[in-house]
């Protein structure tokens, strides 16, 4: 393959291969001399040099003192303008930024200059959305979950009855202590939280005022509960294996609330929203499955992204990118550090290129009008929560204008909309199979 050479004005592009090119920018004396002379004349007008009146400093002295610095600055301005213009007009898709190739070889005492820059070019590739089949989970709230939620609600709104002795289902308040780990934490636990058989056996039958010795290992099903109940750090919570003393200060049982209209109205803050246990379960199911859908969507998005990265094959200008990483920060990196940084960021870069192509090919970019409508819908929802159910268009437009004048808010909303657009696109175009599953099974299967 013969290297392709493009030339426009004073810039020449030579392709090394499909992923690498060199731009050569020629700058002649005629290109910069007028600009340099103008700047030096301005310097002369304003220079304050002892022994000379302002504006009467000899031009030779001004050139000697400032000439080289002004020359370098003006040539660099022309250089950057020429690079940017050429890359834009020729529609060259680059990765990173142009890297100077012969910077150290430039002779600033010459009249004409030739600058070379390495380019890393974006790869050309095709995307197959119909390749690997991906599971789209439909998470349902089953009868067991609904019954447990009803039970939890009845406990939450029930009465606490004080007791002297611990039985199953009771709540125990006391203080955990351990000299070894510096534990001294007051906590309230339910016997239903205790996963360890030995610990539960030690607590059942204990009385207010008793001090019970308990092993932390396996006491709770989730080690994060160690952090909550014992007050240890997140790191210490994992695999915590010490003996703690638990001085029991209170024992309470909960008398569960009756499922009646008074309870339903208390839960929902309005009369008649729910009038029966069946309607309560239906409401719990609706709310739970709405939240489950968000988790399912996030899982789907993650899985599609991983599949696209794995199955969309293309090469990158790795050597160029590693050099660019090494030189793009405030401090130059070693080759080893730059390579490690590239390896850390490679997956993100690959998806960035894939997503960019999908957005361009399928016109998935967010428009300002879409952003405005999205912000108005969000505002309307928030106002409804405070009882304002029918705001005027003028009011919505005014609030939206204030939001969209904030750059950070625009970026945040744009990111949300971009993600939503990609998700909907994947739902419509990726090869998906729907699987109905309970929440507990979803957690085990999806995040095993």
Q: What is the pLDDT of residue 58?
A: 83
Q: What is the pLDDT of residue 120?
A: 97
May I ask the CATH architecture of the domain 159-255? Answer: Roll (3.10)
pLDDT tens figures, 41-78: 888 887 777 777 777 778 888 888 888 999 999 999 99
pLDDT of residue 97 exceeding 90, the answer is yes
Task: Give residue 278's pLDDT band: very low, low, confident or very high (50, 70, 90).
Answer: very high
The whole-number average pLDDT for the span 325-337 is 89
Q: Does the reported pTM lie above 0.85?
A: no
pLDDT of residue 276 exceeding 80, the answer is yes
pLDDT of residue 117 exceeding 90, the answer is yes
For domain 5-121, the CATH class is: alpha beta
pLDDT tens figures, 252-273: 998 999 999 999 999 988 888 8
Q: What is the pLDDT of residue 410?
A: 93
Q: What is the pLDDT of residue 6?
A: 47
pLDDT tens figures, 2-36: 445 444 458 999 999 999 999 999 999 999 999 99
Return d(Cα 205, Cα 173) in angstroms, integer.
15
pLDDT tens figures, 156-214: 899 999 999 999 999 999 999 999 999 999 999 999 999 999 999 999 999 999 999 99
Domain ranges of the chain: 5-121, 159-255, 277-446
pLDDT of residue 300 exceeding 80, the answer is yes
Task: Give residue 346's pLDDT band: very low, low, confident or very high (50, 70, 90).
Answer: very high
Who wins on pLDDT, 445 or 7?
445
The whole-number average pLDDT for the span 413-434 is 95
pLDDT tens figures, 370-401: 999 999 999 998 888 787 878 889 999 999 99
Laid out side by side, the sheet with 20-27 consists of 5-8, 11-15, 20-27, 113-121, 94-100
| Average pLDDT of every residue of the chain | 92
Q: Is 212 in contact with 202 (CB distance < 8 Å)? A: yes
Task: Give residue 149's pLDDT band: very low, low, confident or very high (50, 70, 90).
Answer: very high
Q: What is the pLDDT of residue 8?
A: 45
Q: Which two tokens stand for residue 142?
A: 């089953």
């Amino acid at each position: 393959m013969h290297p392709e050479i493009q030339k426009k004005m004073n810039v020449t592009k030579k392709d090394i291969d499909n992923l690498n090119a060199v731009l050569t920018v020629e700058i002649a004396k005629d290109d910069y001399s007028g600009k340099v002379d103008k700047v030096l004349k301005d310097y002369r007008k304003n220079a304050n040099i002892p022994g000379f009146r302002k504006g009467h400093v000899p031009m030779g002295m001004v050139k000697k003192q400032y000439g080289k610095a002004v020359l370098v600055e003006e040539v660099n301005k022309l250089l950057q303008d020429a690079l940017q213009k050429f890359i834009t007009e020729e529609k060259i898709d680059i990765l990173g930024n142009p890297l100077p190739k012969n910077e150290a070889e430039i002779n600033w005492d010459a009249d004409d200059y030739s600058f070379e820059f390495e380019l890393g070019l974006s790869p050309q590739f095709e995307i197959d959305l119909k390749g690997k089949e991906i599971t789209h989970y439909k998470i349902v709230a089953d009868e067991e979950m609904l019954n447990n939620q009803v039970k939890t609600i009845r406990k939450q709104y029930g009465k606490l009855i004080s007791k002297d002795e611990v039985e199953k289902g009771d709540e125990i308040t006391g203080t955990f202590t351990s000299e070894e780990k510096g534990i001294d934490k007051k906590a309230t636990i339910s016997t239903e939280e205790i996963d360890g058989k030995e610990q539960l056996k030690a607590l059942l039958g204990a009385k207010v005022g008793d001090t019970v010795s308990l092993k932390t290992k396996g006491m709770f099903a989730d080690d994060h509960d160690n952090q909550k109940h014992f007050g240890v750090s997140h790191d210490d919570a994992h695999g915590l294996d010490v003996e703690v003393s638990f001085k029991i200060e209170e024992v309470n049982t909960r008398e569960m609330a009756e499922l009646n209209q008074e309870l339903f109205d208390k839960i929902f803050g309005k009369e008649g929203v729910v009038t029966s246990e069946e309607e309560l379960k239906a409401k719990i199911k609706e709310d739970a499955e709405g939240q489950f859908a968000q988790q399912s969507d996030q899982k789907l998005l993650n899985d599609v992204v991983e599949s696209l990265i794995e199955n969309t094959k293309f090469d990158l200008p790795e050597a160029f990118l590693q050099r660019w990483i090494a030189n793009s920060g405030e401090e130059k990196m070693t080759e080893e550090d730059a390579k490690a940084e590239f390896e850390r960021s490679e997956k993100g870069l690959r998806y960035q290129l894939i997503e960019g192509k999908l957005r361009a090919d399928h016109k998935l970019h967010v428009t300002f009008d879409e952003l405005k409508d999205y912000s108005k819908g969000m505002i309307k929802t928030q106002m409804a929560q405070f009882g304002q159910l029918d705001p005027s268009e003028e009011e919505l437009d005014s609030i939206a204008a204030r939001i969209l004048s904030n750059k950070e808010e625009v970026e945040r909303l744009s990111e949300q909309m971009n993600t939503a657009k990609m998700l909907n696109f994947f739902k419509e175009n990726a090869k998906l199979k729907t699987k109905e599953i309970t929440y507990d099974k979803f957690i085990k299967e999806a995040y095993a």
